[in-house]
Chain A
Amino acid sequence: EAGVAQSPRYKIIEKRQSVAFWCNPISGHATLYWYQQILGQGPKLLIQFQNNGVVDDSQLPKDRFSAERLKGVDSTLKIQPAKLEDSAVYLCASSSGQGNQPQHFGDGTRLSIL
């Protein structure tokens, strides 16, 4: 079974620029999550989708971050404009959404802001 795919693996931009990340979840997984992981910390949920609807975006900085999941499969996360504190690894995860099934993570995109 193919895992969660993310691209790009690395991205370096200057502050105030924009950036986008892409995620393809495990086939058949209805629930998709975007997490931010700052160096030395655990992942923090940014947004959760169930199919193509948003379930939880309470910790998403909506003035600069946006995410979409068109057709309920792939998803993109965008930052515009980027700030220095956005330097982190952005992880995508998916789960079947049934009961307590675990979330499976991609390898993330490491974002560096200069």
Chain B
Amino acid sequence: EDQVTQSPEALRLQEGESSSLNCSYTVSGLRGLFWYRQDPGKGPEFLFTLYSAGEEKEKERLKATLTKKESFLHITAPKPEDSATYLCAVRVSKAAGNKLTFGGGTRVLVKP
């Protein structure tokens, strides 16, 4: 069974304190790994798609990387507005259509 595990569950950072979130996966036939940001009371907002080991994507203070077993979301010099829940999801080759399997998310709080 495909599994996606995110750690830590929660992360408290001081403004400017860089850190990394982990998304480990056990799937067969990865077709894509997706990162989303979710604010309270809102739906997930798409950030990145990664397709193969060694790939990296960047957006402002966020950088996502991918290996054969896990992905990291690095937050560099975070600001309070980066506070949110970050979700990762995988799409696998055997899944019907474009089904995504999500992890449980990491809740990030950045204090000024």
Q: Looking across the interface, which residue of chain A has its beta carbon closest to that of B35?
A: A102
The interface size bin for chain A is 20 to 34
B112 in the interface, Cβ–Cβ < 8 Å? no
CB distance from B61 to the nearest CB of A (A): 20
> A37 to B102, alpha carbons, bound, how many Å?
10
Is A44 a contact partner of B42 (Cβ separation < 8 A)? no
Q: Assess whether A56 is in contact with B43, with CB atoms less than 8 Å apart.
A: no
Q: Are B42 and A107 in contact (CB under 8 A)?
A: yes
B100 interface contact, C-beta 8 A: yes
Are B43 and A55 in contact, with the CB atoms below 8 A?
A: no
Say if the beta carbon of A21 comes within 8 Å of chain B: no
Contact call B43/A97, Cβ cutoff below 8 A = no
Partner of B99, one of A48, A104, A105, A107: A48
A88 → B minimal CB distance (Å) = 13
Inter-chain contact B98/A43, CB cutoff 8 Å: no
Residue from B43, B44, B104 having most chain A Cβ neighbours under 10 A: B43
B34 contacts partner chain A, Cβ-Cβ < 8 Å = yes
Do B99 and A56 have beta carbons less than 8 Å apart? yes
Choose the segment among B65-73, B75-83, B89-97 that binds chain A (4+ C-beta atoms closer than 8 Å). B89-97
Residue numbers in A under 8 Å from B34 (CB-CB):
102
Question: Does A95 touch B at the CB level, under 8 Å?
Answer: yes
Q: Is the CB of A100 within 8 A of B97?
A: no
Closest Cβ of chain A to B100, distance in Å, is 6
| Residue in contact with A41 in the complex, picked from B31, B49, B96, B104, CB distance below 8 Å | B104
> With A48-B97, A107-B43, A108-B43 given, is the CB distance from A100 to B105 under 8 Å?
no
Tell me the chain A residues, 28-54 only, with Cβ under 8 Å from chain B.
Answer: 31, 40-45, 48, 50
- Residue pairs across A and B with Cβ atoms less than 8 A apart, 17 shown, are A40-B104, A41-B104, A41-B105, A42-B4, A42-B6, A42-B89, A45-B101, A48-B96, A48-B97, A48-B98, A58-B96, A102-B46, A103-B100, A104-B46, A106-B43, A107-B42, A108-B42
